[in-house]
A and B are shown apart, each in its own frame.
Chain A
Amino acid sequence: MLYIVDRRKNPTGKSLGNRQRFMRRAKAQIKKAVENTIRSRGITDTTNGDQITIPGKTLKEPGFHHAGRGGNRNYVLPGNKKFVQGDRIARPQGGDSGAGGSQASPDGDGEDEFQFTLTRDEFLDIFFEDLELPDLLKKSLKQTTAFRNARAGFSVEGTPSNLSLVRTMRNSLARRIGLRRPKTAEVRELEEKISALQAKAEKRPNGKLTKADDTKLHTLLADLEEAKRRMKAIPFIDPIDTRYNQFQQIPDPNTQAVMFCLMDVSGSMSEQMKELAKRFFMLLHLFLHRKYEHVEVVFIRHTSRAAEVDEDTFFYSRETGGTIVSTALEEMKKVLKDRYPTDQWNIYAAQASDGDNYSNDGSKCTALLAEDLLPKCQYYAYIEITDEREAEIFSAAEGETALWKAYAPLASNNPRFALKRVTKAADIFPVFRELFAKNRAEAKV
């Protein structure tokens, strides 16, 4: 007696519930580990899951067990090579190696650290936990993904309500023609001919037809019978004829965001500074991608002139020149007007710069921001990237860059505008966090 059951098709991930409970349990440690990895690794890597190591202490499953050493005990080991009874062996130092045979914990749970892999989603969820874009609430009500039905051809199965009559009848007709199903009219015609002949017989005195007519009648009767049989055997509509309209659920992105990346690429920005800026932009992009169905990115770089460019040019091509920030803001204003009406787009902007600006440009920038850009933006972040050594000097001398000076008053009375200084890669995440921390909005608004 044997039953073979194929369970391979069973839903997998049966232990998902266990995994979630495990994650809940180790939440604090996992979060810490994730933050550490983010600090030390490039942002691009974070789109994958990550392997993390957490201390095993909170995951300990204790029980009453005998201690590994102490007391009087004896045990048997395999593989004797040279020992004879009465030999003395120095007690092994450190750990209870060798002696652990009988006392090893049942599932080998001695380790202090616990390593495992997070899926991308888990990773990002933890990454973004308790971060929230300001003003997000406004649009987040609409954020639930809506689906719309789009036609997607025809299928051979479906619900009766989706039956495509035209297609079904077309198939039916083709099949009936192909299989030579007699038409109703043909049958009726046969029947009429037969009854005509039969009437003819009744009129005759002996009630019989002539020989010629008689054979004709018999052929007709046979034909009729054959026609009826065929009609019966070949159905008018067969299940193989039916076609159903097929619909596909297509997600309707009803929240979309555009992210403007503005960066100073003039000679004063070193490669390292640009690298830092890049990380910030990527983080922001990742974050927006998480929140919005559809995110577009506009890269605007500027020296003394500004231009919208593609990503590669933005980060990697070199250009020299002076620095006029307002040109970039003008460009952004133009792009906004042309392509991203505020009623359809959530607009975010991040500007990275070393703080240099043409000396008379500050007031123009402030005006542009205050009047044109900030009212349209959900959020505008300004990241000032400074050299580590410079940073020390600045903090000591309380020196401020031209741009910072111009922007600072704006930030103090506009909750959508934030400015921060970044000096090294490890700063990015804390700064990012601070910029978008949940309670920031509450505290400032």
Chain B
Amino acid sequence: MNSKTKSADTRNTDDSKLLFTSADWDFETLKATYDAIEDIAINEMKLDVYPNQVEVITSEQMLDAYSSIGMPLMYHHWSFGKRFVRDDVMYRKGYQGLAYEIVINSNPCISYVMEENTIVMQTLVMAHAAFGHNHFFKNNYLFKQWTDAEGILDYLQFAKRYIAKCEDRYGFDAVERILDAAHALMDQGVNRYSHPEKPNLAAELQRERERAKYEDETYNDLWRTLPQPDQGDQDIDELKRKMRIEERRAQFGLPEENLLYFLEKNAPSLQAWERELLRIVRNIGQYFYPQKQTKVMNEGCACYVHYAIMNSLYDKGLISEGAMMEFIDYHSRVVFQAEYDDPRYSGFNPYALGFAMMQDIHRICVDPTEEDHKWFPDIAGNNEPIETLKEAWAHYRDESFILQFLSPKVMRDMRMFMIDDQSTSPHLEVGAIHNDNGYRKVRRSLARMHDISVRDPDMQVVDVDIRGNRQLYIQHTEHEGIRLEKSEAEMTLGYIGQLWGYGVTLQAVDYENGEILHEMNYKPEDLAGN
């Protein structure tokens, strides 16, 4: 933490201006504090946010919200119950504190704060969630393209009712069967490259009609009479086979990376309501997809904002020194990064990395070194830290953000080093460290670690034997020989089989040469016996 806190003598020390003096909060103080924060966020930092709604909840309600993946309205599923009992045990035993807040990307932007929080914590939380996250949600391109902040709560309400209705009508087991399978495929239920269209029934029907019309118009009987190419029988068979495959692939829109979408549209034996359940899970997965890709930025943005606001409140004499100390205690715990050999280490802490990078960009803008001028000629010394950050928040995701903005200083400060892990070598090798040779390598590697398309396996539906036994072919493209976790893959394959209703083959294909490396098969139960 570099010292943005100014020394006490420069600040206005007039106790009557303090927003609060005790640790407890009430709704009036909360409101007054919010107004003070809003003044700084909107008028000084010029943040652009959705209207805010702050909801005060108890710790038990926080646990509730926690276990339902942070959403206020969620359909019922045993896995949420499992999460609840686990968090409950952890919380009661004191292994794990509760989150101080949960914020929902919706319009109005809803932040949950716990009643147990002190007023300092509430101030921190409002600055962090109601302005930091809120600004990020409203402005980042991923959120803009992929999620519908206006409609998410309505949609969840619909989903909850719909699933409850299905449970009534078809029984818990039938619904659970579909949801289990859908949850297993949630990560493969997003469109990565094209953002979802707003569904429009009229447009769909229109397209359907146009397609039929085009087929009618372009039909020419003469094509049928063309002589077959003069080749050996085997070649013709081969050619026919290839043509059939091409035809099929066109018919099903293959290859398809969105497994859930494919199953929803094409699984032969699913009921309409079952397809709707797949769709619900898919939509929720899609809604969270931007959050998965922007953890570092999102938290970094929120931490930067709360840090700036808290300091500004302090500078204006609106909060006391004691409150500031309390804040710094919370803050330093949140942005703590354990080192790799620390038992507490569990990967990079997105709060720590994000905050360090945001602060560093700020520094580069206002107080650049020689090195910064070399690395970041565009922004170094431009003296517009907030504008620069807002640009970054709007147009990047974690991977591209790190690739673009991770500076040598941050790498040195966090003492990053890169490990090269080659399966053929008996050793791990240190591939690069935080020095002139290594900066770019470390940066590239760290960016890749935050690239969701590298982190999640590359799965695609490639073929369906529609005229034969309806075998479904799914392909995992193996990069660098990194396989799927086998037992999990087997179970997940089973779930796909359940939805598809016929046999499923999972092929691992080498990315370099397209060779099929190994195969895994699922046989439906009624066929397996034969």
Residues of A within 8 A of B (CB): 1-8, 10, 12-15, 17-25, 51, 59-68, 70-81, 83-91, 98-102, 104, 107-108, 114-117
Number of A-B contacts (CB under 8 A): 274
A85 near B430: Cβ-Cβ < 8 Å? yes
The 10 A-B residue pairs with the shortest CB-CB distance, nearest first, are: A79-B339, A22-B81, A71-B482, A18-B81, A71-B481, A116-B85, A77-B340, A62-B491, A21-B78, A80-B417
By a CB distance below 8 angstroms, the chain A residues around B139 are none
B481 near A79: Cβ-Cβ < 8 Å? no
Residue in B closest to A97 when the chains form the complex, CB atoms: B345
The 8 A CB mask of B429-444 against A (1 = contact, 0 = none) is 1111111011000100
Question: Please, could you name 21 A-B residue pairs with CB atoms under 8 Å apart, sorted by A?
Answer: A7-B55, A7-B112, A8-B61, A18-B80, A21-B76, A22-B78, A24-B78, A64-B187, A66-B482, A68-B485, A72-B423, A72-B424, A76-B418, A76-B442, A78-B340, A78-B414, A83-B430, A85-B431, A85-B438, A89-B429, A102-B347
B415 near A81: Cβ-Cβ < 8 Å? yes
Q: How far apart are B95's CB and chain A's nearest CB, in angstroms?
A: 11
Which applies to chain B's interface (DSSP): helix, strand, loop or mixed?
mixed
How far apart are the CA atoms of A361 and B459 in the complex, in Å?
82
By a CB distance below 8 angstroms, the chain A residues around B30 are 4
By a CB distance below 8 angstroms, the chain B residues around A108 are 346
Interface status of B265 (Cβ within 8 A of chain A): no
Interface status of B11 (Cβ within 8 A of chain A): no
How far apart are the CA atoms of A91 and B435 in the complex, in Å?
24
By a CB distance below 8 angstroms, the chain A residues around B518 are none
How far apart are the CA atoms of A89 and B418 in the complex, in Å?
12
Q: How far apart are B212's CB and chain A's nearest CB, in angstroms?
A: 37
By a CB distance below 8 angstroms, the chain B residues around A79 are 337-342, 345, 414-415
A18 near B77: Cβ-Cβ < 8 Å? yes
A77 near B416: Cβ-Cβ < 8 Å? yes
A91-B428, A104-B347 known; A73 and B85 CB under 8 Å?
A: no
Of the 9-residue stretches B178-186, B193-201, B213-221, B237-245, which lies at the interface with chain A? Answer: B178-186
Residue in B closest to A21 when the chains form the complex, CB atoms: B78
Residue in B closest to A101 when the chains form the complex, CB atoms: B347
Q: How far apart are A107's CB and chain B's nearest CB, in angstroms?
A: 7
Residues of B within 8 A of A (CB): 27, 30-31, 34-35, 38, 51-58, 60-61, 63-64, 67-68, 76-86, 88-89, 92, 108, 112, 115, 172, 176, 180, 183-188, 337-342, 345-348, 414-424, 426-435, 437-438, 442, 445-446, 449, 455-457, 459, 476, 478-489, 491-492, 495
Residue in A closest to B58 when the chains form the complex, CB atoms: A8
By a CB distance below 8 angstroms, the chain B residues around A88 are 427-430
A66-B484, A80-B415, A90-B427 known; A20 and B81 CB under 8 Å?
A: yes
Q: How far apart are B447's CB and chain A's nearest CB, in angstroms?
A: 9
How far apart are the CA atoms of A422 and B340 in the complex, in Å?
57
Q: How far apart are A325's CB and chain B's nearest CB, in angstroms?
A: 49
A19 near B85: Cβ-Cβ < 8 Å? yes
A84 near B433: Cβ-Cβ < 8 Å? yes
A64-B489, A89-B429 known; A24 and B52 CB under 8 Å?
A: no
A64-B476, A75-B445 known; A98 and B340 CB under 8 Å?
A: yes
By a CB distance below 8 angstroms, the chain B residues around A91 are 426-428
How far apart are the CA atoms of A443 and B452 in the complex, in Å?
61
By a CB distance below 8 angstroms, the chain B residues around A90 are 427-428
How far apart are the CA atoms of A1 and B64 in the complex, in Å?
27
Q: Pick the contact of A107 from B83, B437, B457 — CB < 8 Å?
A: B83
